[in-house]
Each structure stands twice: as C-alpha cells, then as structure tokens.
Amino acid sequence: GGSGCTYEAWNTVFEERVAIKEFFPKDFCNREDDTLHVTVGTQSKKPLVAKLRKKFIDEAKAIRKLSHAGIVKVSDVFEENGTAYYVMDYVKGSNLREIVLNKGKMSPEEMFGWSVEILGAVDYLHRNNIAHFDIKPSNIMMKQSGKRGIYPILIDFGQSKHYDEKGKATSTIR
C-alpha cells in the first residue's frame, strides 16, 4: 500500500506465524540498501512523516483494544530501523477480491453468510465509535478454520476514524 508494507514472519517466542505491518510511506521515505534503515527524503517532509507515523502507531493501539472475531488482532507495536511496525495475527487464506477473481460467481447463500459476518464486524466498530472508511474486497481476508470453515476478517484500518461521544470525528483512530 501507499503507507507501508506487510510481511509474513515467524514469532520465535510463541512459535507462530504473524503478519508485520511496516510504516513506510513510499512517497516520502527511502530505505538504505545496506542497513534497511528508513529515512525521510527531505527535511520539509519530516513533520508530515512524524504525524503519519504517530497515526500509524495510534492505529495499532486502537486495533489492539478491539475484540471481535471479524477484526484482525494486533499483538505488538515497536520501532526499529528508523520506522514503526505492528504485529498482527497472520490470517491464512486469500482476500475476498482474490477469491472472487479466481472462483468467479458465488452462490447468494455463500455471499449472504459472509456479508452478515462482515456487517457484524462493522456494527462492532460503529458501537465503538469507529468508522473504517476502506471496506473493500481486498481488505477482507477470508480465514480458513477447521471449526468455522471460511470466514471474513476485516483488515487495514489506515483510513479509519474515531468519533467522540458527540459524533465529532478525530483526525485518527484512537
């Protein structure tokens, strides 16, 4: 994406696969080839990149507070190499866009079941004063599970906004 990269990784402590999202706004930052350290391209962009980095970290903190089966879980956030990262559950499967492109037309029953689950996650967000603003098939991972079969997990909260009790939007998700 435009604000970062997501990597598949192995957590050696818990011995499990995870996804790590890196803050890397490619329009403003560079990566040193020898150290992988991230730098801001110009002095004039440093305040903007600092603001975006804070938003990225706040996004991770906010997602971590959420608890819903249809929303990706964040387990850690850290800073390294001149940038920030957050660790999420690895969702084994494809996103909904890939499934539709590969499988083609789906039955109404199948799409209705997934839609109900996705709307349950959206309802949970709204009850917690959060609007996602980027729900699309590529931001819905379809998790494969032995018990539940395939079910949707909402990811990518980069465009999300938090609303206070009076309905006023904040500049970032908290």
Active-site residue list: 134
Edge to edge, the sheet with strand 149-154 lists: 93-95, 140-145, 149-154
- Integer CA distances (angstroms), 144 to 46, 55, 92, 118, 163, in order: 41, 31, 6, 15, 33
Q: Bridge-partner residues for 163, per DSSP?
A: 169
| Residue type present at position 149 | G
